[in-house]
């Protein structure tokens, strides 16, 4: 079917080794034979068999991505889908294909690390995963190049949004519009959640604002129903926030629904803000005020860093790469005018 290097070498009247060297730019082959080989390769449409090459060189030019979640795969998750898309584009630009890593391939039960070895990926990108799982730890402490998104491990490169600054900017924005009773529904417990929550608390404290009991509650990322419950509860307490910051844009929809079910309209009676900057949600009205994460750059950087780790292992060191966020001033935070204080 496909033409092999042996056939090509016969057409050229050369040995297999010379042909290989000609194609791979070795110096010990004359300019003219190199040209002969190359043009013949072009003519016959020769492509080296990636399996054979990988077997010999231990390089597959394949990157693993671990983008799974408990409830849903990362694919149906807007934020991660966007990151993955960008990762894919950048990886391909650099000559790498990508393969999904998982366990339970077929009947056989492999750990993530085993799967990576089995497929001989050159490196792997972790995101949207239960970072505490033993399997993940095994992979992270293994010898395969790793970059993570949104979670920091010892001695591993991590790409994440400037969550601290993002939350800070959001709180300040809300503050500047006159809000003083600001509540925060966080996402489920995770490294990112911790950063955001502490940033929220710090910023509030810097602004001299109290965070009364019940104004900081835990919800679940990407789960409107959970947010619905939490917000409903929040709004039926005696002390009501004038503005609620939601775990993310999608979850925010649940919070908005809860408010509307209680007869409140947004932003007249209650202000809300999200996190992520999901494109689709920006088409809604009123347009959601939110902190946009730069998924394009996150994915891009992840791929870039991973390829560096692979191709220049000695000169590349683990880094923490922070990607700036951008506040999208929508229409869901009401301007209360001059502060009442």
Partner DNA sequence: TGTATTGTCGAAAACGATTTAGAATGGCGG
Partner DNA sequence: CCGCCATTCTAAATCGTTTTCGACAATACA
Which spans of this chain sit near DNA (rule: CB under 7 A)?
2, 4-6, 13-18, 20-21, 23-24, 28-31, 33, 46-49, 52-53, 55-57
Q: Which is nearer to DNA, 13 or 212 (CB)?
A: 13
The CA distance from 319 to 184, in Å, is 30
Does the N-terminal peptide bond of residue 267 adopt cis geometry, omega within 30 degrees of 0? yes
Q: Which is nearer to its own copies, 140 or 253 (CB)?
A: 253
Closest CB 120 distance from its own copies, rounded Å: 6
The SS3 assignment for 127 reads coil
The CA distance from 136 to 104, in Å, is 15
The answer for residues whose C-beta is within 8 angstroms of residue 184's C-beta and 6 or more apart is 197, 200, 211, 215, 216, 217, 244, 245
Q: Which is nearer to its own copies, 280 or 340 (CB)?
A: 280
161 contacts 320 by C-beta, under 8 angstroms: no
Closest CB 60 distance from DNA, rounded Å: 12
- Phi and psi angles of residue 252, each rounded to the nearest 5 degrees, phi first: -60, -30
Which residues make up the interface to its own copies (CB under 8 A)?
1-2, 45, 47, 49-52, 54-55, 60-62, 72-73, 75-76, 78, 81-82, 84-85, 88-89, 92-100, 102, 104-108, 110, 114, 117-120, 143, 224, 250, 253-254, 257, 260, 278-281, 283-285
Q: Which is nearer to DNA, 13 or 324 (CB)?
A: 13
Q: Which is nearer to DNA, 36 or 137 (CB)?
A: 36
Q: What stretch of H or E contains 321?
A: strand 320-323
Compute how many other C-beta atoms are within 10 angstroms of the C-beta atom of residue 107. Answer: 5
Closest CB 18 distance from DNA, rounded Å: 3
Closest CB 129 distance from its own copies, rounded Å: 15
DSSP line for 28-45: SS-HHHHHHHHHHHHHHT
Select the binding partner of residue 95 from DNA, its own copies, none (C-beta < 5 to 8 A, by kind). its own copies
165 contacts 327 by C-beta, under 8 angstroms: no
Select the binding partner of residue 139 from DNA, its own copies, none (C-beta < 5 to 8 A, by kind). none
């Amino acid at each position: 079917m496909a033409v092999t290097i042996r056939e090509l070498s016969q057409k050229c009247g050369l040995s297999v080794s010379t042909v290989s060297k000609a194609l791979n730019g070795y110096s010990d082959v004359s300019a003219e034979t190199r040209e002969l080989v190359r043009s013949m390769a072009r003519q016959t449409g020769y492509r080296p068999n990636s399996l054979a090459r990988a077997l010999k060189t231990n390089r597959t030019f394949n990157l693993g991505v671990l983008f799974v979640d408990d409830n849903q795969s990362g694919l149906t998750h807007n934020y991660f889908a966007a990151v993955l898309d960008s990762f894919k584009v950048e990886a391909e630009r650099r000559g790498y294909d990508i393969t999904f890593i998982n366990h339970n391939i077929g009947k056989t039960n492999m750990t993530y690390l085993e799967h990576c070895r089995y497929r001989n990926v050159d490196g792997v990108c972790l995101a949207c995963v239960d970072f505490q799982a033993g399997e993940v730890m095994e992979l992270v402490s293994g010898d395969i190049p790793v970059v993570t998104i949104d979670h920091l491990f010892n001695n591993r490169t991590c790409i994440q949004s400037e969550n601290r600054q993002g939350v800070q900017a959001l709180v300040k924005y809300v503050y500047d519009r006159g809000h003083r009773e600001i509540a925060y529904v966080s996402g489920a417990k995770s490294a990112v959640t911790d950063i955001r929550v502490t940033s929220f608390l710090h910023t509030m404290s810097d602004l001299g604002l109290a965070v009364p009991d019940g104004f900081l509650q835990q919800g679940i990322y990407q789960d409107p129903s959970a947010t619905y419950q939490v917000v409903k509860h929040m709004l039926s307490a005696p002390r009501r926030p004038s503005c609620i910051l939601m775990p993310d844009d999608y979850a925010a929809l649940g919070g908005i629904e809860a408010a509307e079910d209680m007869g409140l309209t947004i932003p007249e009676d209650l202000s809300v803000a999200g996190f992520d900057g999901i494109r689709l949600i920006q088409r809604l009205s009123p347009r959601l005020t939110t902190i946009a994460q730069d998924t394009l750059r996150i994915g891009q950087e992840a791929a870039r860093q991973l390829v560096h780790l692979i191709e220049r292992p000695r000169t590349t060191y683990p880094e923490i790469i922070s990607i700036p966020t951008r506040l999208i001033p929508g229409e869901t935070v009401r301007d209360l005018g001059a502060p009442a204080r």
